[in-house]
Each structure stands twice: as structure tokens, then as C-alpha cells.
């Protein structure tokens, strides 16, 4: 009996310790609201180079932008955003896995980064949302507008507007999380391809995306 009591006491102590811990977590959660979760998806990778471009391949540009974005968030904004990349190296991730990450994390924003390619005279930035209508459609459009404004006003890009498309990587987003796909200029045009071949400009593009997210989420960074 003594032994049983001893064990019971030990158990009770554990339970009260856990409750105390839970209480601390709840108090802290009220003081420090949860960070906004943002998933950045560098398009293509590995055996899929995307558009070849006049100077660099699409998969390398999109990865560089994503890595710079992570650096800005860390160094300049003290990790104010909880930022996740779908890939941080030259590997190919399936479109389904990219979507799954955003869904599992209950992301506040999913941003797929790409570069455009067409005839040599095509220029400008365009941002896509899914064609499906759902509770997240308007939020996605607002996020797209916020980032488009940064590209137009801060970097001087021509705006080709916000468009809708049936892109697989955006297909589950309409009722789960806000999601957009950014075409950050045409790497088939000489000037925009040259622009995106320069590291300083890649940093500027990453900052424009980050500021667009910040403005959309109303964060005081
Ligand atoms: Zn692409």
C-alpha cells in the first residue's frame, strides 16, 4: 500500500507539473501572439529547369530569390515571419508535396515563385491566383495586389496585372489558404533576363516580395 501511495504521489506531482507548464504556455501565447506562417515555393528544380532564359535557368533564379527572402526575414526583420521553403537546394519537389506543406502548416500565405518566358519583346510582372472560387479567393487577390504594387512602385516593373489560371500548385488553395504564383519578369527578354542575373537585383526582388507580404499581413516590421 505504501508503495502504491508513493507511486500515486509521484503521478500527481507529474500531472500538476504538466498543468503548470500548460498554464505558462497559455499565458505566453496571450503575450506573444503566434507568428504568421508563410510558405515560399521556388518553382521547378533538379531535372526540371523551367524556362531556360537568355542568361540563367528559371530554377536557379527562383531558388536564389527564395534564399534571399529567407535572409532578409532573418537579418533585417528578426524572423518576424515564420518562413518555410518548399526547397532550399537544386532538387525537384512534386507539386502535390508543395501544396501539402502549405496545407499541413495552415499557412497564412503560400507564394510560388517563377519566371516568365515568351517572345523577346514580352516584359513585366504578372501574378496568378487559382480560378476556383472559395473563402480564400479575395485574400489571395489582396496579397497579389500588395506584392504587385511593390514591384511596380519600388522596382519600376511593368504590371501585367493579376490573372487567374488552373495551376496545379494553386489548385487546393481556394478554401484552405491564400496562395499566389508570381511570374517575376521575362527571362526571354534581354533587359529583364540581365536584371535577374544580377545578385543585387535578386535581393531587391526578394525584398519587394517580403514587403508586399508584410503590408498585406499588416505587420509592423
Ligand atoms: Zn515556372
Backbone φ/ψ region at 111: left (φ over 0), alpha (ψ -120 to 50), beta:
beta
Distance CA 65, CA 205 (A): 7
201: number of CA atoms within 13 Å, CB side? 16
- Distance (angstroms) between ligand 1 centre and the Cα of 207 equals 20
Name the residues annotated as catalytic: 183
pLDDT at 173: 76
pTM of the model: 0.83
- Distance (angstroms) between ligand 1 centre and the Cα of 129 equals 14
Would you list the domain boundaries of the chain?
1-33, 35-217
Which strands form 109-116's sheet, in the order they lie side by side? 82-85, 37-42, 109-116, 179-186, 125-130, 159-165
Distance CA 46, CA 158 (A): 30
pLDDT at 133: 84
- Distance (angstroms) between ligand 1 centre and the Cα of 182 equals 9
CATH 3.40.630.40 correct for 35-217: yes
pLDDT tens across the length of the chain (221 residues): 555 445 545 444 444 444 454 454 455 444 446 889 999 999 999 999 999 989 999 999 999 999 999 999 999 888 989 999 999 999 999 999 999 999 999 999 999 999 999 999 999 999 999 988 888 889 999 999 999 999 999 999 999 999 999 998 998 777 889 999 999 999 999 999 999 999 999 999 999 999 999 999 987 55
User: Where do the DSSP E strands lie in 117-198?
Assistant: 125-130, 159-165, 179-186
User: Where do the DSSP E strands lie in the chain?
Assistant: 37-42, 82-85, 109-116, 125-130, 159-165, 179-186
pLDDT at 23: 52
pLDDT at 3: 54
Q: Which of 43, 179, 168 is nearest to 107 (CA)?
A: 179
pLDDT at 220: 59
Find the radius of gyration of the CA atoms of the chain.
22
Distance CA 1, CA 13 (A): 18
Amino acid at each position: 500500500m505504501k508503495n502504491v501511495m508513493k507511486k500515486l504521489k509521484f503521478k500527481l506531482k507529474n500531472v500538476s507539473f504538466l498543468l503548470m507548464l500548460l498554464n505558462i504556455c497559455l499565458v505566453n501565447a496571450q503575450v506573444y501572439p503566434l507568428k504568421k506562417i508563410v510558405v515560399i515555393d521556388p518553382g521547378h528544380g533538379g531535372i526540371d529547369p523551367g524556362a531556360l532564359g537568355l542568361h540563367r535557368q528559371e530554377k536557379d533564379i527562383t531558388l536564389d530569390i527564395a534564399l534571399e527572402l529567407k535572409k532578409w526575414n532573418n537579418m533585417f526583420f528578426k524572423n518576424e515571419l515564420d518562413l518555410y521553403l518548399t526547397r532550399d537546394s537544386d532538387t525537384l519537389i512534386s507539386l502535390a508535396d508543395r501544396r501539402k506543406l502549405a496545407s499541413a502548416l495552415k499557412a497564412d500565405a503560400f507564394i510560388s515563385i517563377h519566371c516568365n518566358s515568351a517572345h523577346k519583346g514580352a516584359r513585366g510582372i504578372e501574378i496568378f491566383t487559382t480560378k476556383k472560387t472559395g473563402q480564400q479567393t479575395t485574400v489571395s487577390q489582396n496579397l497579389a495586389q500588395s506584392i504587385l504594387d511593390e514591384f511596380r512602385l519600388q522596382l519600376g516593373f511593368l504590371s501585367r496585372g493579376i490573372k487567374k489560371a488552373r495551376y496545379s500548385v494553386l489548385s487546393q488553395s481556394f478554401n484552405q489558404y491564400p496562395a499566389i504564383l508570381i511570374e517575376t519578369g521575362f527571362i526571354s527578354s534581354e533587359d529583364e533576363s540581365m536584371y535577374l542575373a544580377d545578385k543585387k537585383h535578386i535581393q531587391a526582388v526578394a525584398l519587394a516580395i517580403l514587403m508586399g507580404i508584410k503590408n498585406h499581413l499588416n505587420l509592423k516590421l
